[in-house]
Amino acid sequence: MLIWQFGIVNGLHQTVEGWIGRGAGSGADWISVLADVLILLGVVLASIGIYFIAWRLVVRLLRALVKRSDNTWDDELVKSRVFQWIAQLVPGMLIWSGGQAALRNPAASEVVRILAEIYIIVVAFLALSSVLNVCERIYRRFPVSREVPIKGFLQVIKILIFVAAAIFVVASVIGKSPVLIFSGLGALTAVLMLIFKDAILGLVAGVQLSANRMVARGDWIEMPKFGADGDVIDVALTTVKVQNFDKTITTIPTHALISDSFRNWRGMSKSGVRRIKRNLLLDMTSVGLLDEKSIERFRKIRLLRDYLDRKVKELDEWNGQFPDGESVEPVNARALTNLGTFRAYIAEYLKSHPKVSKDQTLLVRQLQPTEKGLPIEVYIFTNDNRWIEYEGIQSDIFDHLLAVLPEFGLNVFQSPTGTDLKNLCELERH
């Protein structure tokens, strides 16, 4: 600004006016106006030329430095537009200083000042936003970013920068100090809270989510209320995006993760195991006692030998305390059942299964009988929690159990179909 004011632009005005005024006569009003316009145009063209020269030099210098650097995060600086926005500040500042001096009309000079200041403010806002974007991308390269996302906080900073930029623009247009506008925001607090309600709720929720590490990028979450069942791909200020397993995207308000309940499978993913909890519904009429012949047949099953030897010895000792006549009665004596033996087989089979975790709970139990049969629940953990592999392990286990069930004289409960009812009716007729 000082260079233009101390004679250089004034000398240009005289030179340009003298060049234009040849043959047009001195003192013509349009000569002065045209001289101002030509000088302003020259300032604009010079600013644009300086921008392109500076930008090419900056890009070449940055690329050379990045190639020599062993770091990977500085690649984000080259890919971003940070330095391009910074370079665009140079022509804005030149036009702001030279443009005002080029126009001797106070009103026109004021218009140029306002437009140049607005341009500088907008470019500065875009440059700061790009810096924040670069910070986020660099941060995402670190493992901690998966548990403590900062995108929401950066978006809050962007909103504050945007509000500040808008205030500076208004202050430039009305020719007042920005301090006066900032001091008057107190009266607009209620309006601002209403406008930025979602952002404020999202900020509070984001702080709680990050502080408690409730959800992070890459987590598998379930939230039936919003139809979400998949991996978190983005945690922003006001929304959390979930890519469902059918490749659809569900958007959940950030504050809903605080006010509503959801299931996070992160613990299962980190543990390396996954639970199987499934029932086999058995027909209770097929449950019965084992005779000596059945026990000897079951001794051929390798997994049941130790169990049968131990149980037979235990039962013989128990039944030996009664007189011979009483121990013959099934009601008085203890005896093996096909159901108990089947439960023992399931337990031994699961203990020997290579895909069942030996360090976690392994349980085979009866549940409350219902009108749909007697549930036998298998409660175990697989040592492979990958989805496809987990489903394969679970299916293989129950395929085997269903296939060997008839060997123990047990039947699976199944609601009768139309064909079954027809066969029953025919049996009753005969």
pLDDT at residue 361 tops 80 = yes
CA distance 207 to 91: 40
* CATH code where residue 344 lies: 3.30.70.100
**Interval 265-322: pLDDT, tens:** 888 888 889 999 999 999 999 999 988 899 999 999 999 999 999 998 888 887 777 6
165 part of a folded domain: no
Structural domain includes residue 391: yes
In a domain, 108, yes or no: yes
Indicate the number of domains in the chain: 3
Same-domain check for residues 392 and 266:
no
Q: Is the dihedral of CA 213, 217, 219, 223 positive or negative?
A: positive
Between 90-94, 215-219, 285-289, the lowest mean confidence (pLDDT) is in 90-94
Amino acid at 295: I
- Among the three residues 84, 113, 141, which one is the final residue of a domain in this structure? 141
283 with 254, same domain: the answer is: no
Which residue is it, tokens 């209320």?
225
Is residue 309 domain-resident? yes
Q: What mean pLDDT value characterizes the chain?
A: 79
CA-based end-to-end distance of the chain: 114
Question: For residue 75, is pLDDT > 90?
Answer: no
Give the rounded percent of residues in the chain with a pLDDT score beyond 70.
Answer: 76
pLDDT at 6 over 50: no
263 and 360, same domain (yes or no):
no
pLDDT at site 329? 63
pLDDT at residue 213 in the model: 76
For the chain, helix, strand, coil in percent to 5 are 65, 10, 25
Mean pLDDT of 42-48: 75
Q: Quick check: 176 pLDDT over 60? A: yes
Q: How confident is the model at residue 429 (pLDDT cuts 50, 70, 90)?
A: low
Q: At residue 13, does pLDDT exceed 70?
A: no
Q: Does one domain contain both 114 and 216?
A: no
Question: Domain for residue 179, yes or no?
Answer: no
How confident is residue 38, by pLDDT bands cut at 50, 70 and 90?
Answer: low
User: Does residue 368 carry a pLDDT above 90?
Assistant: yes
Is the model's pLDDT at 417 over the cut of 70?
no
Identify the CATH number of the domain in which residue 238 sits. 2.30.30.60
Task: Name residue 174's beta-bridge partners.
Answer: none
Q: Do residues 24 and 95 share a domain?
A: yes
pLDDT-derived band of residue 4, with 50, 70 and 90 as boundaries? very low
Task: In whole angstroms, give the CA distance from residue 52 to residue 91.
Answer: 10
pLDDT of residue 5: 46
Interval 96-121: pLDDT, tens: 776 666 666 667 767 777 888 888 88
- Please tell me the number of Cα atoms within 13 Å of 194 on its side-chain side: 4
**Predicted local confidence at residue 138, as pLDDT:** 83
- Whether 186 is in a domain gets the answer no
Question: Could you say which of 107, 141, 175 is where a domain stops?
Answer: 141
In a domain, 195, yes or no: no
Q: What is the pLDDT of residue 2?
A: 42
- 163 domain-assigned: no
Question: What burial letters (b/e) apply to 305-316, b meaning 16+ CB within 10 Å?
Answer: eebbeebeeeee
Phi and psi, residue 373, nearest 5° = 115, -170
Q: 38 with 63, same domain?
A: yes
Q: Average pLDDT in the 399-412 region?
A: 93
* The pLDDT of residue 231: 92
What mean pLDDT comes out for the span 181-204?
68
Does residue 226 sit in the same domain as residue 299?
A: no
215 and 334 in a common domain: no
Given 126, 141, 156, which residue is the final one in a domain?
Answer: 141
Same-domain check for residues 312 and 348: yes
Q: Of how many residues is the chain composed? A: 430
Task: Name the band, by pLDDT with cuts 50, 70 and 90, for residue 3.
Answer: very low
Give yes or no for a contact between 380 and 362, defined as CB atoms under 8 angstroms apart: yes
Helix H or strand E encompassing 47: helix 29-68
Identify the pLDDT of residue 304: 93
- Using pLDDT thresholds of 50, 70 and 90, give the confidence band for residue 33: low
Residues 30 and 117 both lie in one domain: yes
Domain housing 288: 274-419
pLDDT in tens, 332-353: 678 899 999 999 999 999 999 9
Element (H, E) at 309: helix 305-319
The dihedral sign for the CA sequence 274, 221, 277, 246 = negative
pLDDT at residue 238 is higher than 80: no
Single pTM value for the model: 0.57
Asked if 285 and 244 sit in the same domain, the reply is no
Q: Are residues 214 and 285 in the same domain?
A: no
Per the structure block, which two tokens stand in for 272? 């390396």
Top mean pLDDT of 65-74, 133-142, 178-187 is at 133-142
